[in-house]
C-alpha cells in the first residue's frame, strides 16, 4: 500500500523533471507524456480501489517533518478525494491526447507545466493537513500561470496576471485564517498541525459577523469562492479560459475549480457549523446569482470558449447552492456534478480545440454548417453539449436533478431559482451548436475542413462513454460518497 | 592587559584577522585564488560553528559576544565574501570597495556585540559613513546628489539618536542597555520612541524611507548587495533586538502608546512599499520598495513580548530575507553587467529561453521575496505572522498580509518578462552576451548554494532555528 501511495505522489513530479533531463525530440516527449499519464491513471485506480472504506478518511501515510515546525505530512483518502484523484489522472490522459498536435517550440516547458500542475492538484487532494493542502494549493499557481501566460492567446499576459492576482488574493485570506488557527492550535496542543478535526476541537466562538469563527469562515470561503469561482468573484475565469491553451482550460475547468468546492467540503462545512448555518442564505443567494448570471452572460457571447467559460460559472453555481443547502440529496448531487462538470466541460474545451486548430478562430459567426463537413465531430460535440445541458441519461442530469431536488427541500425560493438555469442552459448551448454546426456552410474556408482523426477522436470516445455510463448508472459515483456526505447534512 | 586576557580574546582576534585577510586579498589577481577564498569561507564557517563558548566572550563590559552572536557574524561574513567573489572584480574600484566592506563588517561586529549605547552609536556611524562613501564612489549621474541627501538625512537622525541616548542615560543613569533599571518612566518612553524613529530611518521604513530608492538606484552595482546586506541584516537585527528589549522595560500604560505607533508605521510601510513598488520599472527601485514593505513586516516584531525566542525568529527572518534579496541583486547585477546596463524590466525579456538556469534561480529568489510556499520567504512570514496572531494583533497582521497581495503584482512582473515575452528586446542582456549568464563554475556554485538555502529554509526551517 505504501508503495502505491508513494508512486501516486511522486509519478507526476518525476515525469515533469524528465522533460528537462532527457535529450529527446518533441515526438518522443509526447509518447513519454502519454505513457506517464497512463501509468499515473492506473496507479490512481489501484490506490482508490485499495482503500478499505470511502465514508471516512483513510490515513495512508504519515511523513513526519520534524524540521518544518514539527509538522506531519499526512496522506489520506476518502470517497470525495478518491473521485477527484481519478478525475485528475483521467484528465491528464485527455489533455495529452487532445493537444497531441499542439505546436510550440517550448514543448519541454509546456509538458513540464502540465505535469507539475497535475502533481500539485494531486498533492492537495491527498493532503489531510491544512498546511500541506495550502502549500500545494499555492504551488498550482505558478505552472498554470506559465501555461496561460506562455502558451495562451493574444491577451495571455493580462489574463495570467489577473488570474494570479485573484487567486493569490484569495490565498492570502486563507493564509491569514490558517495562521490564526495555527497560533491557536499551538497554544492548545503545542503543535502547528492543522487538520479538520483539530480545527473543530479548537471550538472557535461564534457570535455575529465579527466573531472569530465567522471571520475565519469568510477567510476560507472567499479563498475557495475565488477558485470555484462564485459570483461576484468570477471575473478572472472567462479571461483565463479564453486565453489559456486547451490543456490549461481542460485542467482548469476539470479539476482546479473543483478544488475550491473540495476545500469547502473538507475545511469549511464540517468545521464551522454555526457560521455555515448563519451564512447559509447569503452563500446560496450568491450561488443562485452565479447560475443565472453565468447563463444569461453566456447567451450574449460570440466567442465559443467564452460561452463554455460562462457556462462553467453557471454550473459551479449549482454546486455551491447544493453544498450550502446542507441537504443530503443536494450534497450528493453537488459532488456528482463536480465530476460531471469536469468531464463535460473538459469535453467541450477539447471540441473547441478541434475547431480552433482548423480555423484559428473561436468566433461563432465564423462557423456554421460544420456538421456537413465534420459529421463525426458533430456527433461527439453534441454528446458533450447534451451532458452539459443535463439531458436525462447523461451525467449532467443526475447532478442537477439531485441538486434542485435537495435545494427545494431546504428553500423553495432558491430551489425554484436554481431551476431557471435548467431552462437557460439548453438555450445558450443549443444556440451555439445550431450556429456553429447546423445549417448551410456560410464561410468558404469551412468547406475544406477535415473530420476528426483517431487521435482526436479518442478523448471524445473516453469522455462520451463515461458521461453516458454515469448518466445510466449514477451509483458508480454516488456509492463512494453518500455515507460520507450524511455527516455533513443537517 | 594580562596574558590571560589576550588568551581570552584570541578567538576573536583570529576571527577578525581571517576576515580582513579574506576581504583585502580579493582584488589581487592570481591563479588559484578563488579556491583559496572558498577555503577561507569554509574556514570562517567551520571556525565559528565549532566554537561553543559558554557563557560569553566578555572583552569589556561594553562588548560581549556569545556563541549565538558569533554565528550571526559568521553568516554575515560568509555572504560578504561571497558578494565580493562575485562582484568585486567587476568594478574598477576593487580596492576601495573591499576596504569599505571590511570596515562595514568590522562596524557590524561591534554593533552586534555592543551592550551599551556608546559602542552601539560608534559602530552604527562607522557603517553609515561607509554607506555614504559607497554611494559617492558610484559613476552614476545622480550619485552625488543621492549621497548628499543620504548624508544630510543620516546626520539629522544621528543627532536624534544622540538625543535619544542622552534621554536614555537621563532616565536610567547609564548607557548600558543589557542591564539597567528605569528611574524615570516618562523620559524613558520618550527616549525609546526617538530610538525607534531612528531605527525606522535606518531600516528605511515609512515615512523615513526617502533616501532608500535613490541610494539603491545610484550605488554601484558591485556595492549594492553588500550595502543592502549590512543595512538590512545587521542594522535591522541589532536595532530591533535592542528596541524589543527597551520596550519591555517600559511601563505597561506608556508601552501601549508606543505599540500603537509601531503598528501604524508597520502597516503603512507594508502598504506603501508594496503599492509604490507596483509603479516601478527599475530593478533597484523595486528592491528598495520591496525592502520597505519587508521593513513593515519586521517592525511589528517590536510589539511582541520577549517570550519564546521571538528575537531568534526575527533573525531567522532577516537572514533568509537577505539571502533571497542578495540572490536577486547578484543575478540582476550579472544581467546589468553583461547587458547594456539598462536597469529596466526590458533587460529580462525572454531571458528564460536563453539561459534557463539563471532565470530559474532568479524566479526562485523572487518567489521567495513574494513569500510563495516551499521557499524560505513563506516560512519566515508564516513564523512571524503566527507570532503576531498569537499575541493578539489579528487585525494588523491581517492588514499587513493583505498588503502582500499588492506586492505580488511587481514580483510577478519578473516572471512575465522572463517567460512570456516572445521577442527578446534590443535592450536584453542576452543580445549583447549571446550566451549564458553564469558561465564560471564558481558563479554557478555560489548561486546554487544561495538557491539551496532558500529551498532549505522553505522545507526545513527548524534546522536553522535551532
Q: Which residues of chain B neighbour A193 with C-beta distances below 8 Å?
A: none
Window 385-414 of B: residues touching A by CB (8 A cutoff) are: 385-387, 389-390, 394, 397-398, 401-402, 404-405, 408-409, 412
**HSE-up (13 A, CA, CB side) for residue B165:** 17
Partner residue opposite A67 with nearest CB, options B372, B387, B460: B460
Partner residue opposite A67 with nearest CB, options B385, B419, B461: B461
Chain A contact for B463, CB < 8 A? yes
Output the CA torsion A269→A271→A275→A276 (10° steps).
10
Distance CA A204, CA A212 (A): 6
Chain B contact for A486, CB < 8 A? no
Number of A–B residue contacts, CB under 8 Å: 91
Q: What is the DSSP string of B372-433?
A: -TTSHHHHHHHHHHHHHHHTT-HHHHHHHHHHHHHHHHHHHHHHIIIII-SSPPTT-HHHHH
pLDDT (tens digit per residue) in A271-281:
998 999 999 99
Average pLDDT, rounded, for chain B: 78
Q: Which residues of chain A neighbour B390 with C-beta distances below 8 Å?
A: 183, 186-187
Interface mutation target, options A104, A150, A164, A174, chain B, most CBs of B under 10 Å: A150
DSSP-derived letter for residue B292 is: H
Cβ B289 vs Cβ B277: under 8 Å: yes
Q: What percent of chain B has pLDDT over 90?
A: 13
Cβ B259 vs Cβ B197: under 8 Å: no
Distance CA A25, CA A29 (A): 6
DSSP-derived letter for residue B302 is: G
Whole-number pLDDT of residue A94: 93
Cβ A480 vs Cβ A83: under 8 Å: yes
Give the angle subtended at the CA of A51 by the CAs of A48 and A56, to the nearest 5°. 105
Output the CA torsion B449→B452→B457→B459 (10° steps).
-160
Chain B contact for A13, CB < 8 A? no
pLDDT (tens digit per residue) in A163-203:
988 988 888 889 989 989 988 998 888 888 888 888 888 88
Whole-number pLDDT of residue B389: 86
Nearest to A297 by CA among A286, A313, A285: A313
Q: Which residues of chain A neighbour B382 with C-beta distances below 8 Å?
A: 175, 179, 182
The H or E element spanning position A62 is strand A58-65
Distance CA B31, CA B40 (A): 16
Nearest to B73 by CA among B233, B200, B187: B233
Judged against a pLDDT cut of 50, whether residue B432 lies above it is answered with no
* Domain locations along chain B: 140-465
pLDDT category at B176 given cuts 50, 70, 90 is confident
Q: Which residues of chain B neighbour A72 with C-beta distances below 8 Å?
A: none
Q: The cell 565574501 sits on which residue?
A: B81
The H or E element spanning position A77 is strand A71-77
Q: The cell 519564546 sits on which residue?
A: B308
Output the CA torsion B358→B361→B362→B365 (10° steps).
-160
Judged against a pLDDT cut of 90, whether residue B65 lies above it is answered with no
Kindly state the average pLDDT of the residues B405-429.
74
Q: Which residues of A277-292 are buried (b: 16+ CB within 10 A; e: fewer)?
A: ebbbeebbbbbbbbbb
pLDDT category at A341 given cuts 50, 70, 90 is very high
Kindly state the average pLDDT of the residues A318-345.
93
Interface mutation target, options B364, B373, B377, B466, chain A, most CBs of A under 10 Å: B373
Chain B contact for A154, CB < 8 A? no
Q: Which residues of chain B neighbour A161 with C-beta distances below 8 Å?
A: 412, 416
Window 327-386 of B: residues touching A by CB (8 A cutoff) are: 352-353, 367, 372-374, 379, 382-383, 385-386
pLDDT category at B344 given cuts 50, 70, 90 is low
In angstroms, what separates the C-alpha of A134 from chain B's closest C-alpha? Answer: 8
Chain A contact for B238, CB < 8 A? no
Per the model's pLDDT, the better-predicted residue between B69 and A222 turns out to be A222
Contact B405 A182 (CB under 8 A): no
Q: How many Cβ atoms sit within 10 Å of the Cβ of residue B134?
A: 28
Residue A3 bridge partners (DSSP): none
Output the CA torsion A367→A420→A475→A487 (10° steps).
130
Q: What percent of chain A has pLDDT over 90?
A: 55
Judged against a pLDDT cut of 70, whether residue B43 lies above it is answered with no
In angstroms, what separates the C-alpha of A45 from chain B's closest C-alpha? Answer: 29
ipTM of the complex: 0.84
Judged against a pLDDT cut of 80, whether residue A256 lies above it is answered with yes
Biggest CA-to-CA distance, chain A: 72
Map residue B307 onto helix, strand or coil.
helix
Contact A146 B419 (CB under 8 A): yes
Cell of A427: 438555450
Per the model's pLDDT, the better-predicted residue between B350 and A138 turns out to be A138
Q: Which residues of chain A neighbour B459 with C-beta distances below 8 Å?
A: 65, 67-68
Kindly state the average pLDDT of the residues B439-457.
83
Q: What percent of chain A has pLDDT over 70?
A: 100
Biggest CA-to-CA distance, chain B: 71
The H or E element spanning position A42 is helix A26-50
pLDDT (tens digit per residue) in B350-377:
778 877 888 889 899 999 998 888 899 9
Partner residue opposite A179 with nearest CB, options B372, B385, B412: B385
**Residue A475: which residues within 8 A CB-CB, separation 6 or more?**
none
Can the peptide bond before residue B402 be classed as cis, meaning omega within 30 degrees of 0?
no
Contact A142 B367 (CB under 8 A): yes
In angstroms, what separates the C-alpha of B460 from chain A's closest C-alpha? Answer: 4
Assign residue A203 a region (left: φ > 0; alpha: ψ between -120 and 50; beta: otherwise): left
Can the peptide bond before residue A229 be classed as cis, meaning omega within 30 degrees of 0?
yes
Distance CA B291, CA B314 (A): 15
Contact A176 B416 (CB under 8 A): no
Q: The cell 497582521 sits on which residue?
A: B397
Q: Which residues of chain B neighbour A173 with C-beta distances below 8 Å?
A: 402
In angstroms, what separates the C-alpha of A113 from chain B's closest C-alpha? Answer: 12
Kindly state the average pLDDT of the residues B282-288.
84
**HSE-up (13 A, CA, CB side) for residue A410:** 28
pLDDT (tens digit per residue) in B78-137:
777 777 666 545 445 556 676 777 778 778 888 888 888 998 999 999 989 988 888 887
- In B, minimum Cα distance to A141 occurs at B372
Whole-number pLDDT of residue B90: 47
Least trusted range by pLDDT, from A146-150, A347-351, A435-439, B428-432 = B428-432
CA distances from B302 to A428, B111, B172, B199, B299 (A): 58, 19, 21, 11, 6
* Domain locations along chain A: 279-490
**Residue A145: which residues within 8 A CB-CB, separation 6 or more?**
A160, A163, A164, B412, B415
Distance CA B11, CA A279 (A): 65
Per the model's pLDDT, the better-predicted residue between B13 and B393 turns out to be B393
Whole-number pLDDT of residue A41: 94
Chain A contact for B423, CB < 8 A? no
Burial class (CB in 10 A: 0-12, 13-18, 19+), A433: buried
Contact A179 B397 (CB under 8 A): yes
Cα A281 from chain centre: 24
Average pLDDT, rounded, for chain A: 90
In angstroms, what separates the C-alpha of A82 from chain B's closest C-alpha? Answer: 25
Whole-number pLDDT of residue B364: 92
Contact A165 B385 (CB under 8 A): no
Contact A165 B389 (CB under 8 A): no
Cβ A264 vs Cβ A221: under 8 Å: yes
Cβ B391 vs Cβ B323: under 8 Å: no
pLDDT category at A334 given cuts 50, 70, 90 is very high
Q: Which residues of chain A neighbour B394 with C-beta distances below 8 Å?
A: 180
Map residue B156 onto helix, strand or coil.
helix
Interface mutation target, options B353, B360, B462, chain A, most CBs of A under 10 Å: B462
The H or E element spanning position B108 is helix B94-113
Distance CA A242, CA A398 (A): 28
Q: Which residues of chain A neighbour B404 with C-beta distances below 8 Å?
A: 172
Q: Cα Rg for chain B, rounded, in angstroms?
A: 22
Whole-number pLDDT of residue B333: 77
DSSP-derived letter for residue A11 is: H
Assign residue B434 a region (left: φ > 0; alpha: ψ between -120 and 50; beta: otherwise): left
Highest mean pLDDT among B150-154, B312-316, B438-442: B150-154
Distance CA B151, CA B155 (A): 6
**HSE-up (13 A, CA, CB side) for residue B191:** 27
Contact B462 A69 (CB under 8 A): yes
Whole-number pLDDT of residue B433: 47
Kindly state the average pLDDT of the residues A225-242.
90
Kindly state the average pLDDT of the residues B425-449.
63
Q: Which residues of chain B neighbour A141 with C-beta distances below 8 Å?
A: 372
Per the model's pLDDT, the better-predicted residue between A263 and A67 turns out to be A263
Q: What is the DSSP string of B197-260?
A: HHHHHHHT-TTS-THHHHHHHHS-HHHHHHHHHIIIIIIHHHHHHHHHHHHHTS-HHHHHHHHH
Partner residue opposite A172 with nearest CB, options B367, B394, B401: B401
The H or E element spanning position A72 is strand A71-77
Judged against a pLDDT cut of 90, whether residue A91 lies above it is answered with yes
Partner residue opposite B402 with nearest CB, options A68, A172, A180: A172
Amino acid at each position: 500500500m505504501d508503495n502505491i501511495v508513494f508512486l501516486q505522489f511522486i509519478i507526476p513530479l518525476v515525469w515533469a523533471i524528465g522533460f528537462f533531463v532527457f535529450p529527446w525530440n518533441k515526438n518522443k516527449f509526447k509518447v513519454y507524456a502519454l505513457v506517464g499519464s497512463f501509468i499515473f491513471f492506473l496507479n490512481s485506480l489501484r490506490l482508490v480501489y485499495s482503500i478499505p472504506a470511502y465514508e471516512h478518511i483513510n490515513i495512508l501515510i504519515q511523513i513526519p517533518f520534524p524540521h518544518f515546525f514539527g509538522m506531519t505530512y499526512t496522506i489520506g483518502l476518502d470517497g470525495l478525494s478518491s473521485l477527484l484523484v481519478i478525475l485528475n489522472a483521467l484528465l491528464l490522459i485527455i489533455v495529452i491526447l487532445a493537444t497531441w498536435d499542439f505546436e510550440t517550440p517550448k514543448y519541454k516547458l509546456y509538458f513540464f507545466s502540465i505535469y507539475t500542475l497535475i502533481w500539485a492538484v494531486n498533492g492537495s487532494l491527498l493532503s489531510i493537513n491544512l498546511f500541506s493542502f495550502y502549500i500545494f494549493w499555492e504551488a498550482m499557481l505558478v505552472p498554470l500561470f506559465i501555461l496561460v501566460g506562455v502558451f495562451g492567446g493574444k491577451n495571455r499576459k493580462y489574463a495570467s496576471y489577473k488570474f494570479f492576482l485573484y487567486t493569490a488574493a484569495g490565498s492570502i485570506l486563507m493564509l491569514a485564517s490558517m495562521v490564526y488557527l495555527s497560533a491557536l492550535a499551538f497554544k492548545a496542543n503545542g503543535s502547528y498541525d492543522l487538520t479538520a478535526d483539530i480545527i473543530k476541537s479548537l471550538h472557535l466562538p461564534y457570535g455575529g459577523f465579527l466573531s472569530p469563527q465567522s471571520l475565519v469562515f469568510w477567510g476560507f470561503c472567499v479563498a475557495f469562492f475565488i477558485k470555484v469561482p462564485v459570483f461576484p468573484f468570477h471575473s478572472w475565469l472567462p479571461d483565463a479560459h479564453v486565453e489559456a491553451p486547451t490543456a490549461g482550460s481542460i485542467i482548469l475547468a476539470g479539476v482546479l475549480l473543483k478544488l475550491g468546492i473540495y476545500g469547502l467540503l473538507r475545511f469549511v462545512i464540517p468545521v464551522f457549523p454555526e457560521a455555515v448555518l448563519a451564512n447559509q442564505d447569503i452563500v446560496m443567494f450568491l450561488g443562485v446569482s452565479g447560475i443565472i448570471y453565468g447563463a444569461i452572460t453566456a447567451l450574449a457571447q460570440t466567442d465559443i470558449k467564452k460561452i463554455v467559460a460562462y457556462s462553467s460559472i453557471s454550473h459551479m453555481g449549482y454546486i455551491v447552492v447544493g453544498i450550502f443547502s446542507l441537504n443530503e440529496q443536494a450534497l450528493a448531487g453537488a459532488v456528482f456534478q463536480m465530476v460531471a462538470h469536469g468531464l463535460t466541460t473538459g469535453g467541450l474545451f477539447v471540441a473547441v480545440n478541434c475547431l480552433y486548430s482548423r480555423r484559428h478562430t473561436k468566433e461563432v459567426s465564423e462557423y456554421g454548417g460544420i456538421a456537413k463537413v465534420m459529421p463525426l465531430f458533430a456527433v461527439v460535440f453534441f454528446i458533450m453539449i447534451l451532458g452539459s445541458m443535463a439531458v436525462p441519461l447523461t451525467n449532467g442530469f443526475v447532478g442537477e436533478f439531485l441538486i434542485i431536488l435537495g435545494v427545494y427541500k431546504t428553500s423553495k425560493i432558491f430551489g425554484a431559482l436554481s431551476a431557471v438555469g435548467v431552462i437557460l442552459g439548453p438555450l445558450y448551448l443549443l444556440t451555439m451548436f445550431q450556429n456553429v454546426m447546423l445549417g448551410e456552410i456560410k464561410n468558404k474556408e469551412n468547406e475544406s475542413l477535415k473530420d476528426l482523426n483517431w487521435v482526436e477522436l479518442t478523448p471524445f470516445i473516453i469522455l462520451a462513454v463515461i458521461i453516458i455510463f454515469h448518466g445510466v448508472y449514477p451509483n458508480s459515483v454516488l456509492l463512494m460518497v453518500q455515507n460520507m456526505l450524511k455527516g455533513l447534512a443537517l | 592587559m594580562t596574558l590571560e586576557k589576550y588568551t581570552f580574546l584570541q578567538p576573536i582576534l583570529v576571527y577578525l584577522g581571517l576576515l580582513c585577510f579574506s576581504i583585502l586579498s580579493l582584488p589581487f589577481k592570481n591563479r588559484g585564488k578563488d579556491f583559496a577564498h572558498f577555503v577561507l569561507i569554509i574556514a570562517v564557517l567551520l571556525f565559528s560553528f565549532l566554537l561553543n563558548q559558554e557563557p560569553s566572550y566578555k572583552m569589556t563590559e561594553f562588548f560581549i559576544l556569545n556563541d549565538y552572536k558569533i554565528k550571526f557574524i559568521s553568516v554575515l561574513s560568509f555572504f560578504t565574501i561571497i558578494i565580493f567573489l562575485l562582484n568585486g572584480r567587476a568594478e574598477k574600484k576593487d580596492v576601495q570597495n573591499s576596504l569599505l566592506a571590511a570596515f562595514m563588517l568590522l562596524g557590524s561586529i561591534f554593533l552586534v556585540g555592543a551592550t551599551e549605547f556608546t559602542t552601539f552609536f560608534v559602530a552604527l556611524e562607522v557603517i553609515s559613513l561607509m554607506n555614504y562613501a559607497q554611494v559617492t564612489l558610484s559613476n552614476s549621474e545622480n550619485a552625488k546628489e543621492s549621497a548628499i541627501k543620504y548624508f544630510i538625512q543620516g546626520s539629522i537622525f544621528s543627532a536624534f539618536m544622540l538625543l535619544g541616548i542622552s534621554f536614555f542615560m537621563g532616565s536610567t543613569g547609564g548607557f548600558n542597555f543589557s542591564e539597567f533599571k528605569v528611574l524615570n518612566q516618562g523620559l524613558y518612553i520618550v527616549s525609546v520612541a526617538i530610538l525607534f524613529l531612528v531605527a525606522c530611518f535606518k531600516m528605511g521604513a515609512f515615512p523615513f524611507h526617502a533616501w532608500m530608492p535613490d541610494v539603491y538606484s545610484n550605488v554601484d552595482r558591485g556595492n549594492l548587495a553588500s550595502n543592502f546586506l549590512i543595512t538590512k541584516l545587521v542594522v535591522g537585527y541589532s536595532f530591533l533586538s535592542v528596541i524589543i528589549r527597551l520596550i519591555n522595560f517600559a511601563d505597561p500604560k506608556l508601552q501601549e502608546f508606543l505599540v500603537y505607533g509601531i503598528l501604524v508605521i508597520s502597516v503603512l510601510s507594508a502598504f506603501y512599499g508594496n503599492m509604490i513598488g507596483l509603479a516601478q520599472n527599475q530593478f533597484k527601485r523595486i528592491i528598495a520598495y520591496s525592502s520597505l514593505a519587508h521593513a513593515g513586516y519586521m517592525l511589528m516584531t517590536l510589539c511582541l513580548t520577549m517570550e519564546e525566542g521571538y528575537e531568534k525568529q526575527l533573525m531567522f527572518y532577516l537572514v533568509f530575507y537577505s539571502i533571497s534579496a542578495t540572490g536577486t541583486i547578484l543575478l540582476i547585477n550579472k544581467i546589468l553587467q553583461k547587458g547594456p546596463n539598462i536597469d529596466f524590466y526590458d533587460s529580462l525579456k525572454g531571458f528564460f529561453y536563453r539561459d534557463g538556469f539563471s532565470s530559474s534561480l532568479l524566479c526562485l529568489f523572487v518567489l521567495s521575496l513574494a513569500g510563495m510556499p516551499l521557499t524560505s520567504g513563506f516560512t519566515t512570514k508564516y513564523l512571524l505572522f503566527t507570532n503576531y496572531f498569537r499575541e493578539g494583533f489579528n487585525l494588523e497582521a491581517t492588514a499587513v498580509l493583505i498588503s502582500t497581495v499588492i506586492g505580488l503584482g511587481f514580483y510577478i512582473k519578473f516572471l512575465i518578462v522572463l517567460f512570456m515575452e516572445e521577442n527578446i528586446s534590443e535592450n536584453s542582456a542576452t543580445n549583447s552576451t549571446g550566451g549564458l549568464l553564469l558561465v564560471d563554475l564558481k558563479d554557478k556554485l555560489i548561486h546554487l548554494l544561495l538557491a539551496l538555502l532558500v529551498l532549505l529554509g522553505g522545507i526545513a526551517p527548524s534546522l536553522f532555528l535551532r
